[in-house]
């Protein structure tokens, strides 16, 4: 999740240099080349059933393809700090979906954590202190604010996609190995991104992209498609989905830190308060039971 937060933040300069649809296609393409040796079926692994194939497609559609578009689009219209705060709601979303689809038990303090996460996200959205990456252009103030709200909605959609990705991934790890899951869902992501990616590439001037951006793209693709997915699936194999979702707290923390330390963004008082509420929701959800009771008292 620390790697996810880092590439979420670093996708902002990438999205400014490369169109979002083309960026997603290049990401999946690089990942597919890097994981060719992970595609063959191991001898001890069962054949893919129609149900598993559907889950792989949904995992790729929600967790790879739509998450990538929503996340990159949201960050390009707001900031890495915004992404960090809104994505702090991922643990609560994972817990809710785990309760609904996997029938995992969700405690009262998890519901309280959900309320804190929603409050933090709402407070941040109401602060209205950010401008999109294209703010230097001659846009009217009203249109600019609408773009910021669109960025917020895209990031919330990315949260829901990431939560679904965790729940579906938990079911997949009961049948397939982490490496093969990683390679197969990336292949589906490449197939989904190829039509629009090719169309965008046809009109794009690749020579205008600085050399440093290509190196950043390589890191982004390997981190987003290969390293983080393999690590996540390996962990989900032995950890309940709701408990695994708790570790996504590292995503917003890492994204915000990279936004402030690397991209030169700032945290306002409102943003700090919202970020604190979002992280408090995670803290409440992860405290040991006895300590949590003492905090509530």
**DSSP string covering the chain, please?**
-HHHHHHHHHHHHHHHHS-HHHHHHHHHHHHHHHTGGG-SPPTTSPPPPHHHHHHHHHIIIIIIIIHHHHHHHHHHHS-HHHHHHHGGGHHHHHHHHHHHHS-----HHHHHHHHHHHHHHHHHHHH-----TTTTS---HHHHHHHHHHHHHHHHHHHHHHHHHHHHHHHHTTTS-HHHHHHHHHHHHHHHHHHHHHHHHHT--GGGS-HHHHHHHHHHHHIIIIIHHHHHHHHHTTS-HHHHHHGGGHHHHHHHHHHHHTS-----HHHHHHHHHHHHHHHHHHS-HHHHHHHH-
- What would the mean pLDDT of 216-245 be, rounded to a whole number? 85
* Cβ atoms of 133 and 76 closer than 8 Å: yes
- Alpha carbon distance 129, 284 (integer Å): 28
Convert the pLDDT of each residue in 34-51 to its tens digit.
999 999 998 888 889 999
Per-residue pLDDT band for 282 (boundaries 50, 70, 90) equals low
Q: Is residue 1 pLDDT above 90, yes or no? A: no
pLDDT of residue 290: 46
Number of domains in the chain: 1
Per-residue pLDDT band for 230 (boundaries 50, 70, 90) equals very high
Which range marks the domain in which residue 213 is found?
Answer: 2-296
pLDDT of residue 253: 67
Convert the pLDDT of each residue in 171-188 to its tens digit.
898 889 999 999 999 999
* Cβ atoms of 78 and 229 closer than 8 Å: no
pLDDT of residue 73: 81
pLDDT of residue 199: 93
Q: Is residue 56 pLDDT above 80, yes or no? A: yes
Q: Is residue 79 pLDDT above 80, yes or no? A: no
pLDDT of residue 191: 94
- Alpha carbon distance 86, 148 (integer Å): 13
Instruction: Mean pLDDT check: name the lowest of 55-59, 103-107, 125-129, 265-269.
Output: 125-129
Convert the pLDDT of each residue in 85-143 to its tens digit.
777 677 778 878 887 887 777 677 777 777 777 777 667 656 555 444 444 444 444 45
What is the share, in percent, of the chain residues with pLDDT greater than 90? 28
Question: Is 0.85 surpassed by the pTM of this model?
Answer: no
Name the more confident of 243 and 56.
56
């Amino acid at each position: 999740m620390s790697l996810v937060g880092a590439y979420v933040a670093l996708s902002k300069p990438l999205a400014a240099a490369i169109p979002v649809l083309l960026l997603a296609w290049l990401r999946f393409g690089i990942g597919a080349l890097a994981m060719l040796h992970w595609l063959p079926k191991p001898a001890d692994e069962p054949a893919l059933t129609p149900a598993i194939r559907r889950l792989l497609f949904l995992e790729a559609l929600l967790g790879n393809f739509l998450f990538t578009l929503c996340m990159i689009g949201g960050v390009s219209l707001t900031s890495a700090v915004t992404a960090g705060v809104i994505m702090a709601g991922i643990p609560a979303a994972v817990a809710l979906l785990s309760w609904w689809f996997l029938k995992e038990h969700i405690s009262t303090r998890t519901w309280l954590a959900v309320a804190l996460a929603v409050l933090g996200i709402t407070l941040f959205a109401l602060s209205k202190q950010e401008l999109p990456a294209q703010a230097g252009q001659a846009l009217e103030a009203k249109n600019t604010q609408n773009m910021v709200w669109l960025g917020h909605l895209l990031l919330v959609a990315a949260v829901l996609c990431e939560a679904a990705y965790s729940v579906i991934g938990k079911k997949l790890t009961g049948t397939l190995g982490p490496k093969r899951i990683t390679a197969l869902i990336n292949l589906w992501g490449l197939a989904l991104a190829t039509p629009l990616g090719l169309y965008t590439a046809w009109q794009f001037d690749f020579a205008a992209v600085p050399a440093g951006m290509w190196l950043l793209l390589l890191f982004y693709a390997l981190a987003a498609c290969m390293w983080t997915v393999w690590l996540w699936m390996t962990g989900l194999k032995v950890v309940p989905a709701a408990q695994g979702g708790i570790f996504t707290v590292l995503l917003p923390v890492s994204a915000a830190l990279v936004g402030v330390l690397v991209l030169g963004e700032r945290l306002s008082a409102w943003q700090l308060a919202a970020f604190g509420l979002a992280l408090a929701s995670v803290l409440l959800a992860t405290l040991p039971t006895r300590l949590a009771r003492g905090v509530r008292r």
